Amino acid sequence: MERIRIGDIVLKTHPLVYEPGEDSILLMENLVDVRGKKVLDMGTGTGIQAINALKRGCEIALGVDINPYAIRLSRENAELNKVDRKGFFFQSDLFKNIDWIMEELGIDRFDVILFNAPYLPTSQEERLEGYINYAFDGGVDGREVIDRFISEAGRYLKRGGVIQIVQSSLTGERRTLDMLERYGFKGEKSASIRFFFEEIQVITARKVR
């Protein structure tokens, strides 16, 4: 396993787990205030967002991922960064296992939910073999996983709580903001990086109802 450093975080990497890139760093650098809060890191990968939240003073961070290699790796990385006492990592396909995990940890609802989503429009022919595909594959229009996430996230978030989603402009900024509004959120594009063919965006939304 190789090790990389991003800011004050050291990470082990794994060939079957998404290695943090510019999108991960964008979310880290634009993280909302998490001091004393309960944070859910959806699609945790190496655990970088959960670890970053813990280093920024959150009360507890739960990282979940459909990829079992990611869960093992994120646990090792939490220990490596000395935040494992307040960082917990479990396998789940989005919110599928969240109810019983929250019960185990004594969590009612979260204050902040983070999601560096699989946002790339992906045809059947473009899909990769194995678990690594889950880190990229957003379905034909890039919205398959993001739409599922938005439709379910409100159940697990306190009123006034915040979700932060990383997506591509190819996925549709307006579509995401409109869907968030339908599900009781007020959102905005809070950060972005421009590349040749797309813009990587952080969408930050507060639960208002």
Torsion of CA 151, 155, 159, 160, to 10 degrees: -50
The pLDDT tens digits for 147-192 are: 999 999 999 999 999 999 999 998 999 999 999 999 999 999 999 9
Parallel, antiparallel or unpaired: strands 60-65 and 38-42: parallel
pLDDT of residue 136: 55
Tell me which H or E stretch contains 153: helix 144-153
In total, how many domains does the chain have?
1
Q: How far apart are CA 134 and CA 193, in angstroms?
A: 23
- Is the pTM higher than 0.85? yes
Nearest of 158, 74, 82, 149 to residue 117 by alpha carbon = 149
Residue 127: domain span: 3-207
For residue 193, the domain's CATH number is 3.40.50.150
Give the pair of three-digit tokens for residue 99. 């109810």
Q: Which helix (H) or strand (E) holds 151?
A: helix 144-153
The predicted-structure confidence for 77-111, as pLDDT tens digits, reads as follows 999 999 999 999 999 999 999 999 999 999 999 99
Rounded-to-integer distance, Cα 153 and Cα 10, Å: 29
pLDDT digits (tens, 9 = 90+) for 118-148: 756 554 554 556 565 555 544 456 588 999 9
